[in-house]
Amino acid sequence: MHYFIVTYDVCDEKRIKKVFKLCKNFGRPIQYSVFICRLSEENYEIFKSRLISIINEKEDQVMFIRLRETSEGNIAKNAFSIIGKQISAEIPNCWVIT
């Protein structure tokens, strides 16, 4: 399992709603269009495949940023810094049903 920041820039309102809904199935929103996700390699590939089927690759962009992890599998405290309102980096384990 790996932690990712997933962020998107989608141009069409219908696609935005679909991408947002899909991202909520794989992670937790932390800002508008920004999610934190804990994904196995398999779920990472499934997530990417589903996103590709939704977005217009000439107009839209989805970015996956892999976060550093501790030896215990948690997000390293220095993996990112936040100015202002803090967020919880804890992500519950979840199942993705295909």
Q: Where are the domains of the chain?
A: 1-98
**Residue 77: what pLDDT?**
57
**Residue 27: what pLDDT?**
94
Residue pair 86/31 in contact (Cβ under 8 Å)? The answer is: no
The CATH number given to 1-98 is 3.30.70.240
Distance between CA atoms of 81 and 88, rounded to whole angstroms? 12
**Residue 66: what pLDDT?**
87
Distance between CA atoms of 63 and 79, rounded to whole angstroms? 17
Tens of pLDDT along 69-85? 666 666 655 555 554 55
Torsion angle (degrees, nearest 10) of CA 13, 14, 20, 23: -140
**Residue 74: what pLDDT?**
65
Tens of pLDDT along 5-18? 999 999 999 999 99
